[in-house]
Structure 1
């Protein structure tokens, strides 16, 4: 099995994070709400995004030989009435799928969230055509909370539902 490590993101990872997201948006365009050409963050903007997560959120990176192969981010809501919950995002490069990277990233998030007394709920959105992602989330205890029917129109003209999933911690 290929060995990978998980670590916290640093501000200096900004350029690599941008390149990673462009890569995954390109290789699996039907799984993401953002098209690669719409992802136009500058390195400075990405650095600010990372800094904003350091205060009360979490960004974890998966690497093999210092090459970024996956990432997960979570940020609690800044609104007082929703501060007990937040939304996560996760991505793994296709050539590294099936190695347990997504499982490790989410498991570390769940462990971190359980230690945070202010957090009660983790939420994510996943397109209904992302069967591998849905399987992972259900395996780790996430449940379907709702669906936005035909919420995304893909480049080929077909629609997918946006499934909202959550887990209480």
Structure 2
């Protein structure tokens, strides 16, 4: 495997991030969107990246190999006072890079960030229930399934459940 570089997303990554999201949406049914992508404009993505960086409580990491984005991970802090102790984790990897340890490296970076954040006590996520590889990865990092959300996804006329998982830091 070529060398993976993990860094905070920069505004200059916005267009490449949108192209990345379009690509990963078409690669599996594990995400909340398909080939239509996230629906963000480049300007909206730039603003989101900048706000994430400025918050100090959230992070967006890109994993790059030879300058190409092959992974995206984030922890987004909630800003409401009663749930400010929680953060939501998201992680994606290009399908052609699955099973190469990239998701593990991204999780290491994300969890290190979460543990350093003074206000973060719980990290949570949703993962499609049949995505066994992702569930196993999250369990390696201390996440546990706390419930099943039936009909979480609706793709065409088919429903799929998601595991609700969290990790107490």
Same fold (TM over 0.5): yes
Q: Find runs of 4+ consecutive structure 1 residues off by over 6 angstroms.
A: none
What is aligned with 1:114? 115
Q: Which digits, 9 at most, give the CA deviation of each residue in 1:11-43, with x for residues without a partner?
A: 111001101111000111x11112332632110
Q: Which digits, 9 at most, give the CA deviation of each residue in 1:80-107, with x for residues without a partner?
A: 0000011111100000011111111111
Equivalent residue pairs, number? 167
What is aligned with 2:165? 165
What is aligned with 2:50? 51
Q: TM-score scaled by structure 2?
A: 0.93
Residue 87, structure 1, aligned to residue 88, structure 2: yes
Decide which moves more: 87-96 or 127-136: 127-136
What is aligned with 1:34? 33
Over aligned residues, Cα RMSD in angstroms? 1.3
Q: Which runs of 5+ in 1 are unaligned?
A: none
Decide which moves more: 70-79 or 34-43: 34-43
Decide which moves more: 91-100 or 146-155: 146-155
Decide which moves more: 11-20 or 47-56: 47-56
Q: Which digits, 9 at most, give the CA deviation of each residue in 1:105-126, with x for residues without a partner?
A: 1111111111111110101111
CA distance in 2, matches of 1:145, 1:39: 27
CA distance in 1, matches of 2:147, 2:8: 31
